[in-house]
Chains A and B, each alone.
Chain A
Amino acid sequence: EDQVTQSPEALRLQEGESSSLNCSYTVSGLRGLFWYRQDPGKGPEFLFTLYSAGEEKEKERLKATLTKKESFLHITAPKPEDSATYLCAVPQGGSEKLVFGKGTKLTVNP
């Protein structure tokens, strides 16, 4: 069964304190791994797609990396506006469905 596990469930950082979020996955035939950011009461905002091990993508203070078993979302010198829930998802094998992790709620204190 395809699975996505995110850790930690919640993370509190001080402004400027870099850290990483983890997304480990088990899927038959990876067809992409997606990172989303979701603010309370709003729809998920697409951040990155990673397709193959070794791939990296960056956007402002965020960098996503992929290995054969997991992905990391590195946050460098975060700001309070980076506070959100970060979701990781993979397409279920042979399906149009996405398997989501439960998310990591990030809080960045000023």
Chain B
Amino acid sequence: DTEVTQTPKHLVMGMTNKKSLKCEQHMGHRAMYWYKQKAKKPPELMFVYSYEKLSINESVPSRFSPECPNSSLLNLHLHALQPEDSALYLCASKVGRGGNEQYFGPGTRLTVT
């Protein structure tokens, strides 16, 4: 089973709202990722968690706050977003350190109004 699940599938939020995106995998993977993808562009890395510790933050604005409560779960907390943050947010996971392939979830389509 190579499934990564993400909820919700779609999210519309105002600029003053607080919301969270959730990602889950039960493949025993120890590296988890958040990506942002704009139309007709490749995924753009935001955060990497390795063995439940934040290992990479790609200078993402503080209105995005990641959290990794356990090895299977990854959250992205959103607060005071801007309309330009509207995008497809993707979660991915892989086995661990090294060059193994990443498996992506279906994504959350976020619209900020």
Q: Which residues of A contact B (CB under 8 A)?
A: 31-32, 34, 36, 41-46, 49, 51, 87, 89, 91, 95-98, 100-103
Contacts and interface: CB of A to CB of B under 8 A. Distances in A.
B56 A46 contact: no
Given A41-B109, A43-B104, A102 B41 contact: yes
A64 B56 CA distance: 30
B50 A96 contact: yes
Secondary structure of the A contact surface, majority rule: loop
Contacts of A102: 41-42
Interface of B: 2, 4, 6, 31, 41-43, 45, 48, 50, 55-56, 88, 90, 92, 97-107, 109
Nearest to A98: B102
10 smallest beta-carbon distances between A and B, as pairs: A31-B99, A100-B42, A43-B104, A32-B99, A43-B107, A44-B104, A91-B99, A43-B106, A49-B101, A96-B48
Contacts of A89: 42
B106 to A, nearest CB: 5
A101 B42 CA distance: 7
A42 B101 contact: no
B45 A45 contact: no
A100 B43 contact: yes
